[in-house]
Amino acid sequence: MPGRDIAIIGAGPAGLIAAERLAQAGHRVTLHERMASPARKFLLAGRGGLNLTHAEPLGAFLPRYREAQGWLEPALGAFPPQALRDWADGLGADTFVGSSGRVFPRAMKASPLLRAWLGRLQGLGVALASGRLWTGWDADGALAFRLPTGETETIRPDAVLLTLGGASWPRLGSDGGWVPLLAAQGVAIAPLRPANAGFLTRWSPLLRERFAGQPLKRIALRLGSEAATGEAMIDAEGIEGGAIYALSAAIRETIAREGFAEIRIDLRPDLTEEALAARLARRRKGETLSNHLRKAAGLSPAAIALLREAGTPPDEAGALAARIKAVPLRLDGSMPIARAISTAGGIAREALDARFMLKALPGVFAAGEMLDWEAPTGGYLLQGCFATGVAAASGIEAWLAERDR
């Protein structure tokens, strides 16, 4: 099959890996990016260490994608975490597995990996056209772009891949502006919602003023049958952080269904309730409750404040231990999608065929975060973007070959 002209709109991880695969197959690939430079959100993620993927077995890995596991499984199976590690190692990233099972490059940042990646793409002949805002299709069905000069340009590639992201971090380019463009073409789209986001709660003025920005370390959270461990951060308007993000889908859906969600926070998950009660029973005469909680229970000032937020702590050691192991916290809504790490919702599964092509738009494919899937932080987000990018590139190859036949 001779090389074809392929337009990829969006230069994040899904678009870049698809461009690499398609260029290696001999196609002429152009990346169209609205921002001045590619992979802005990828670089931001790298500031915290660039968690590429996770080393847990695939049997535990796949359920992290919740309702989307079934239809993402073929893509994740074809490009699993080890394949992503091998690819990154091939660019000189030298990945390693951290103590939590998360996978990072040795440099612990994104910029060296991205530089090597862009160099490889340039060597493969991939063109990068920056500052081009995709505005949909013109009256004749050509792709239309608005240039920095304000002028409009149209192109007619042989195939198109959309990798435009969701609606989180809009200042980095992902603002969900593609939703009405595709909806107008009959593409089914689930509403975009914040994922891996914080939640709003009604803090007392004292807690808000004194403890906003303070961490809650080594805690466990529970909502119904779902649980998570890790850390959280008290925000002036609510609570966020890794442990919250791990339960964000369940919390968000509970709020949508019932109007609020009440989680339970275990401030000492490393101790049984009985062991904690035994420690709390040894209170010295005249010792303040705050000092007692700090010394006997090992609670930080922020954790003590959270405990008090739920009401006056009981005096009896067993009841106090039970409260510390299950502090109730009511959450009333998600923080804005612009503050979320990622996005739920997007192009619906039924709008795609098995090749990641839009059924309503033959020759137009989609991948990455703009599809209707979500996953917690921990490497699952980037893995999903890479795997669907690879799958869409394979789908384009298959469609072009089929069309030739």
- Domain ranges in the chain are 5-194+341-404, 199-334
Q: Categorize the per-residue pLDDT at 47 as very low, low, confident or very high, splitting at 50, 70 and 90.
A: confident
Cα dihedral 114→120→125→129 (10° resolution):
10
Looking at residue 285, its pLDDT comes to 86
Residue reference for tokens 């990346």 = 31
| CATH of the structural domain 199-334, one choice from 1.10.150.120, 1.10.1740.10, 3.40.80.10, 2.40.30.10 | 2.40.30.10
> What residues have CB less than 8 Å from 180, skipping those under 6 apart?
none
The backbone torsions φ and ψ at residue 185, rounded to the nearest 5 degrees and listed phi first, read -95, 10
Q: Which two tokens stand for residue 374?
A: 């979500």
Give the sign of the dihedral formed by CA 120, CA 124, CA 125, CA 127: negative
Rounded distance between C-alpha atoms, residue 221 and residue 334, angstroms: 17
The CATH number given to 5-194+341-404 is 3.50.50.60
Looking at residue 71, its pLDDT comes to 96
pLDDT digits (tens, 9 = 90+) for 333-372: 999 999 999 999 999 999 999 999 999 999 999 999 999 9
Low-confidence winner among 1-5, 122-126, 148-152, 156-160 (lowest mean pLDDT): 1-5
Looking at residue 46, its pLDDT comes to 76
Residue-averaged pLDDT of the chain:
96
pLDDT digits (tens, 9 = 90+) for 311-336: 999 999 999 999 999 999 999 999 99
CB atoms within 10 A of CB 101: 15
pLDDT digits (tens, 9 = 90+) for 265-278: 999 999 999 999 99
Long-range contacts of 268-274 (CB under 8 A, 24+ apart): 268/297, 268/298, 268/299, 268/324, 268/325, 269/218, 269/219, 269/220, 269/229, 270/218, 273/318, 273/321, 273/322, 273/325, 274/321
